[in-house]
Chains A and B, each alone.
Chain A
Amino acid sequence: MNKILLYLIMLPSGLWRRMGADVTQLKAILTVKLKMDDRKPLTMGRQQPNKKKKIKYASTVAFILSFFVGFMYIFPLIVFEDPYLKLFGLYTMLTVLLTFGLVTDFSNVLVDTRDKLIIFPKPVSDRTIFLSRVLHIFIYFFRSVFPMSLMAWIVWGILYGWEGALWFPVPLFFLTLMSLFFVMGCYSLLLKITKPEKFKDVIGYFQIFFSILVFTTYYMVMPQMRNQEVFQQFDIKTISWIRYTPTYWLASCWYWVQPKAAVLAGTGWLSILAVLTPFIMLWVTVKFFAPSFIRKLSAIDGVEVATPKKTVKHEGKSKLYIRLANMFNRTSASKAGFSIAWLQTSRSRAFKMRVYPGFAYVFVYFFYLFLNTNVAFADLFEKMSQTRSHLFLLYMTSFILLNAVSNMNMTEQYKAAWIYYTSPLESPGRIMGGAFKAMWIKYYLPFVIVVTGFVLYVWGIGALIDVILATANVTTYVLILMYLGNRHLPFSMPEQMKTKAGKAVLKMLFAIIFMGCMGLAHYAIYFVWLKVLLTFISIALLWTIWDGYINTSWKQLKIAEDAY
């Protein structure tokens, strides 16, 4: 797959040359980058096993997953009448989600500073480096766009015959480019206005902000989408302003096949804009942004001497995490696990990026619950207390814990984990247990406290048993998941590329579905005595699994690492 895409990418080599890139170097860089992405990094003390089949399997899972996610995109194709409106809806959805994916998953590739010692000192021009990064991301990007839009492609083929099917991938190609350069533009602008040493932090916060924005928009729009009749009566003329949006320009490419169906004036002309825009954006970014981008990139992490700004306040034993570590852990190993997980999660940009937006998701859901009720604010709590939606809220918080514990093992600095292997640790389980406690106390507990306060206020003291049962269930369930499929030392596993992460996404998806089932089961129980009984059973189960988890042996750890 990589080879074919690389071949296709290098087809317009004249264009790349014209933009100031050295085509031979460009191809060499891309070949190496793609090869490296496909290789699994080695963890401590292990030889590279021959696992070609397993990698292929992971890619297939990722493909199937993207294909099913693609079902979502046929929605606008079904609900709208006008073909241009169908396409406008599809492209808008795709653009938002692609941009989201680009910002969250590929920022590290774009601002990767590891090339500083390898490629930067070689006689490679700024434009070649810049273009290699853009095209590297484009290849990954297109690889996920293809399976994602496959379903929509099939539907379009059914609706408009072979002509439609043949035409379908063309605007998608432009769309991918547009999304890519939009994000590139944003990043170049960010680089221009921020200091290099601050850039990575700014990017991190930008990513978190952007994720929350997309998620919020999605859930604010979702309730409106339920009414299908609204869509079917939708007239494109009433929203003629859409002709100024790039996604409509892309939709207007349909003019090449069905010009008569176009309602808005100038649709044919707008299709030219769809073709030209990505190339203009490409030219502008490469011509004007590339040199400063690379120069600034070289300055990131370029400070070799300690900067006083990054000094961490030291207040000896009074530090909160030390006090908590001592309070909740008995062994040195679990204290060490607690401390490292607490500190690293506060500082790791990648961890914050993956976990922090989740906090906002819970709040957004929370407000979504409010907005969805269509009840006056004064009666809202009264109305809510008559339902049992507090259970939904209680089980929602599991997302926080699940997200935190499943991300605390991954790091770019997985090689630093040698220290665990050379230390006198009888079993690595104690470290893992300490780290789990840290995540529970640091991320899950504050949420549970806030939610409990709210639940008790609205639903009364009677809901306390629900809070206790749900908290016990969530903790037990997440621990079972860690015990069965994620037994790793904190910050010891290499991060994986998006394409290899299919299995992880699938795991997470199933985890959330099962959690939902558990919530539903809880919903079905009315007897308080049964809830009390189940709470005891849940805590007993937690106790048993916990014992197994903290006694994880080195051998079991190795098995888990091999399966990673």
Chain B
Amino acid sequence: MEPIISISNLTKQYGDKTVLNNINLDVYPGQIIGYIGPNGAGKSTTVKVLTGVIQDYTGEVIVAGKNLRDSLMDVKRMIGYIPELAELYDLLTPREYLNFTGTLYGMEASVIEERMVKMLDSFGLSENIDQRMDSFSKGMRQKVLLASGLLHNPSIVILDEPLSGLDANAVILVKELLQRLKQEGKTIFYCSHMMDVVEKVSDTIVLIDKGTIIANGSFAELRAGSGESLEQIFSKLTMADNLLEKAGSLASAMTDNTNTQQL
């Protein structure tokens, strides 16, 4: 099977700092990729390259047989992106915002309307469809963003911490949604720090650290019979020193200082 996303020798530098260092990755259609790594590892930069926000990189990214550099618009049309922070024009109502984003993707107004109503209804926001979003909670905004990312029926969905701010029921809904999207043959690129979720939903887990992929495989492969959780594997691969030791020194930092009083 041909990979739907094929990244080869992807490198990105900001001045002297190398944020992505020779990334090579193949993602196959219908897969859920759990893309994990510590803060500053290069996850968001990879996502920005894939979504076309960053274009001055070296290496090659092929999406559905098309070179990202040459066919940026075609690739963007295939991708649905849900960013990490709930940044949206909150003076608009969900209906107006989704109309706006749908129009940016060149969708027909009637299609936008039909899909938006169904989606917001599923997210339990049908009553809020004509309310300005400046009074929405973070979770409500996140649901609108999820709807905006899926509205144009993309074949690749990139989610950056999609569960942040969602309540328990919404988390179950999104996890179920991921499985349904997968069944429909969509590819999901899932960036998260929530190891338990990544462990459960991902077919393949890619671990990135300091701009380099340090592990790539199914959860079973990464575990290799050790019986460890993903969290343990993650910390083993990304931390040079013992975490327990670090926690200990953190706690003692508050008590060792003679000038500090207990508040």
Contact = CB atoms under 8 A, between A and B. Distances in A.
Interface of A: 44-45, 47, 301, 303-308, 310-314, 316-317, 322, 332-333, 335-336, 339-340, 343-344, 347-348, 413, 415-416, 418-426, 491, 554
Contact of A306 (B51, B55, B135): B135
Q: Which of B76, B91, B128 has the largest count of A CB atoms less than 10 A from its CB?
A: B91
Contacts of B90: 413, 416
B132 A416 contact: no
Given A306-B136, A310-B132, A336-B103, A422 B89 contact: no
A554 B55 CA distance: 11
Contacts of A312: 93, 96, 130-132
Interface stretch (B78-86, B179-187, B204-212): B78-86
19 contacts: A45-B53, A305-B137, A308-B131, A310-B134, A312-B93, A314-B130, A333-B103, A333-B104, A336-B104, A340-B100, A344-B89, A416-B89, A419-B101, A422-B79, A423-B76, A424-B76, A424-B77, A424-B106, A425-B104
Interface of B: 14-15, 48, 51-55, 72-74, 76-77, 79, 81, 83, 85, 87-93, 95-96, 99-101, 103-107, 109, 113, 128-132, 134-137, 140, 148
Given A306-B136, A310-B135, A343-B92, 15 more contacts: A45-B48, A303-B135, A310-B132, A311-B132, A312-B93, A322-B109, A332-B106, A339-B103, A344-B91, A418-B53, A419-B100, A421-B53, A423-B105, A424-B74, A424-B76
Given A317-B109, A339-B99, A344-B91, A304 B137 contact: yes
Q: Which 7 A-B pairs have the closest CB atoms?
A: A424-B76, A347-B91, A423-B104, A336-B103, A45-B53, A332-B106, A415-B87
A422 B103 contact: no
Nearest to A307: B135
Nearest to A340: B100
Contacts of A335: 103
A301 B90 CA distance: 12
Contact of A421 (B51, B74, B89): B51
Contacts of A554: 55
A89 to B, nearest CB: 43
B72 to A, nearest CB: 8
B92 A347 contact: yes
B104 A311 contact: no
A415 B84 CA distance: 12
Contacts, number: 117
Nearest to B88: A416
B51 A422 contact: yes
A208 B183 CA distance: 56
Contacts of B54: 45
Nearest to A321: B96
B135 A305 contact: yes
A314 B48 CA distance: 35
Given A413-B89, A421-B52, A424-B77, A332 B104 contact: yes
A91 B93 CA distance: 47
A283 B131 CA distance: 42
A418 B93 CA distance: 18
B128 A306 contact: yes
Contacts of B104: 332-333, 336, 419-420, 423-425
Contacts of B132: 310-312, 347
A313 B52 CA distance: 36
A22 B83 CA distance: 40
Q: Which of A304, A311, A423 has the largest count of B CB atoms less than 10 A from its CB?
A: A423
Contacts of A322: 109
Contacts of A340: 89, 92, 100
Contact of B81 (A47, A305, A422): A422
Nearest to B131: A306
Contacts of A317: 109
Q: Which of A339, A344, A421 has the largest count of B CB atoms less than 10 A from its CB?
A: A421
A509 B52 CA distance: 38
Contacts of B137: 304-305
A314 B131 CA distance: 10
A312 B92 CA distance: 9
A311 B127 CA distance: 10
Given A336-B103, A347-B92, A425 B73 contact: yes
B73 A313 contact: no
B189 to A, nearest CB: 13
A310 to B, nearest CB: 5
